[in-house]
Structure 1
Amino acid sequence: MFSKVVISLALAASVLANVFITSPVATTTFTGGQQATITWQDDGLTPNLTTFGAALVGIYTGNANQQTLLQTVSASVDVSTTTSIVFTPDATIGPNSNEYFVRFTSLNLKDATNSQFPAEAFSAKFTMTSMTGTFNSTVQAEINGQSTAPIGATATSSASGTMKTVATTSGSVSVSASGTKTSTSASSTATKTGAAGKVGVTGITCFVGAAASLLGAVLL
């Protein structure tokens, strides 16, 4: 293995959103060793996908302030010209759990509220099955940290909601499971108090990238 619940925070997060991740959502289950697809679209807000540009896409776990990259899905994908990535989840990155989420990290755009951090977008937490790995003590401590820095609940999330659909250039990227691990390890976690700290959580298990769905669906 290597690599808040009030309206005001959700609204603040939605203003900074850009990559709206339509899969995985809270009801999604990825199976270790079997092909899975990550999809996204522009949420119609500023900055747009062209501005977000090339991004590192990975599977993470953790809390709103500390997150660990478990698997690199793509080291660099232009989110403005591609709308999906087909990849194979590495079964060894952790156990069967619903504590996984996808994070997009812009390689060029900085966070609008804290320029020392890159712009980011998050999926809802989702489930991984047929997994053979474990979370080490550092990663488990991050997951336990959700009690004070929550990143999601267990309720169902919908990727559709009433969010505005924006046409994007079609395309896809296929990534194999081999060679997906990076130098970011579970024992060396990515601790953030800026960009990651802005991750909003709603009653329907949404991150920044899904805040528009929250506002259109339930306005918690």
Structure 2
Amino acid sequence: MFSKAAISLALAASALANVFITSPVASTTFTAGQQATVAWQDDGLTPNLTSFGAALVGIYTGNANVQTLLQTISASVDVSTTSSIVFTPDGTIGPNSNEYFVRFTSINLKDATSPQFPAEAFSAKFTMAGMTGTFNSTVQAEINGQSTAPIGATSSATGGVTSSTAKSSATMTSSTSSSSSKTTASASASATKTGAAGKVGVTGITCFVGAAASLLGAVLL
């Protein structure tokens, strides 16, 4: 069993995926209604940003096995031609909390170790302030499950997540174009996943297991 702090540290370590997220970081605070920036760069590992390609970018919460999309930042952004997205955080997606993280989900690239799932990259967990919403009971249970979730085992989320309207006004800046998008999405939890459940980082759950194992080793010493 891993502590909540251990899970947080493992999530932070997962920022070292091929999509290296430079904003937000653990010390970041996004304020509802005020423009915020998600930024990233290539860390030089395989696959590169060109391979990762177009991605869904959103604000999530949850645990290693089950994560819920709270706000869509961009439904599709090419991470190889764009390095940042400016958007406005929606204050209704949850309360003031440090249980938020940004997830990149490749639209076309599959996870190298579990090709039945898309490649993903995660930011460190960060804080959101000025919030007016709440986490429903299902989402709160996901957050509470951080200390008991079986790392790398089968997990199942069978509905029960109250839909949340995720609104964003995002301006994507790239060398070729600039556009504004407003996206509506329902909050959703992951379906049953075995092995790569709740993948953290582009190479899947192995990244998370390595971080968690190192933390456990340090505790045992």
TM-score normalised to the size of structure 2?
A: 0.70
Q: Which amino acid aligns with 2:63?
A: N
In the other structure, the counterpart of 2:129 is 129
Measured against aligned partners, the alpha-carbon deviations of 1:64-112 in whole angstroms (never above 9, x if no partner) come to 1000000000000000000000000000000000000000000000011
Count of matched residue pairs:
177
In the other structure, the counterpart of 1:197 is 198
In the other structure, the counterpart of 1:106 is 106
- Structure 1 residues 68-83: aligned runs within 5 Å: 68-83=68-83
Q: Distance in 2 between matches of 1:121 and 1:173?
A: 23
In the other structure, the counterpart of 2:158 is none
Q: Distance in 2 between matches of 1:142 and 1:62?
A: 5
In the other structure, the counterpart of 1:162 is none
With a CA cutoff of 8 Å and minimum separation of 6, indicate the structure with the bigger relative contact order.
1
Structure 1 residues 89 and 65: CA distance shift in structure 2, 3 A? same
In the other structure, the counterpart of 1:85 is 85
In the other structure, the counterpart of 2:183 is 180
User: Which structure carries more strand by proportion?
Assistant: 2
Q: Distance in 2 between matches of 1:85 and 1:193?
A: 32
Q: Distance in 2 between matches of 1:50 and 1:29?
A: 29
Tell me by how many angstroms 1:143 deviates. Answer: 0.3
Contact 2:15 2:121 in 1 (8 A): no
Structure 1 residues 75 and 112: CA distance shift in structure 2, 3 A? same
In structure 1, list runs of 5 or more residues that go unmatched: 152-168, 201-207, 212-219
Contact 2:120 2:199 in 1 (8 A): no
Measured against aligned partners, the alpha-carbon deviations of 1:177-208 in whole angstroms (never above 9, x if no partner) come to xx43313x2xx4214444443427xxxxxxx6
In structure 2, list runs of 5 or more residues that go unmatched: 152-173, 202-206, 211-217
Q: Distance in 1 between matches of 2:180 and 2:61?
A: 20
Q: Distance in 2 between matches of 1:194 and 1:66?
A: 13
In the other structure, the counterpart of 1:57 is 57
Identity of aligned residues (%): 79
Q: Which amino acid aligns with 1:199?
A: V
Contact 1:84 1:172 in 2 (8 A): no
Q: Which amino acid aligns with 2:70?
A: L
In the other structure, the counterpart of 2:45 is 45
Structure 1 residues 195 and 20: CA distance shift in structure 2, 3 A? farther
Is 1:18 matched with 2:21?
no
In the other structure, the counterpart of 2:162 is none
Q: Secondary structure at the match of 2:132?
A: coil
Structure 1 residues 27 and 174: CA distance shift in structure 2, 3 A? farther
In the other structure, the counterpart of 1:145 is 145
Tell me by how many angstroms 1:18 deviates. Answer: 1.0
Q: Distance in 1 between matches of 2:195 and 2:49?
A: 21
